[in-house]
Amino acid sequence: MKNTPTSIITALVSGVSQPYLLLDMEFTSGTLRLTNLAFDVQVGGNTYISDGGLTKMDPPRLTSVLDREVYRIQLIDFDNEIKSYFDSQALGTSVTVRLGIEGNYTELDTVFKGRIDGVSVETNPEEGTKEATIECTSPFAALDRTNNRMTDKQHQTAILTSDRCFDLIYASSKTIESKWGKK
């Protein structure tokens, strides 16, 4: 169940509120924090940049089906800053989008939380624009995904170097006779 703070619900119902969005993308080279406010804002000790080129984010969708919910974020990328993040293993990066009401920077509602599933940069020389598009998916997208897991020494040490649970797996593989059922 979603627990939206009552201050946000009250402000949205009143009709005079100014909602804003905060975007966190946790790349391996650093966390990118952007906002759609007209000014930079400090939230939770972190600075969210207003001129980071955040142009469009999909509205949240409510669904009763567990499916691959795609969430798109579009950014302006004139100086190739976003592309440099894309080049440093962007797929799988954690993304969080939170909603707040201007004037209240402590009570926030998480609108989307997922991972980057696809990235692209589109340049339009006629209009002089360069737009980066990020496609994210929710954790439910991985429910039907399969993953091969080898049960041998080599693959186990790649996961955890100190784990020796498969060291003797072939040494003990002799013919074993198990008696099963009644005589």
Burial tier of 40 (Cβ tally within 10 Å: 0-12, 13-18, 19+): middle
Q: What is the mean pLDDT of residues 82-110?
A: 84
List the structure tokens of 79: 């100086």
CB atoms within 10 A of CB 31: 11
Q: Which residue spans within the chain are E strands per DSSP?
A: 19-27, 30-35, 41-43, 46-48, 54-57, 70-76, 94-101, 104-124, 129-137
d(CA 43, CA 130): 29
Q: CA 106, 108, 114 angle in degrees (round to 5)?
A: 135
pLDDT tens profile 15-61: 777 888 899 999 888 888 999 888 999 998 999 988 767 888 777 66
CA dihedral 111, 58, 10, 64 (to 10 degrees): -60
All domains of the chain, ordered by start, with CATH? 6-145 (2.30.110)
Q: How confident is the model at residue 142 (pLDDT cuts 50, 70, 90)?
A: low
Residue 66 has a pLDDT of: 56
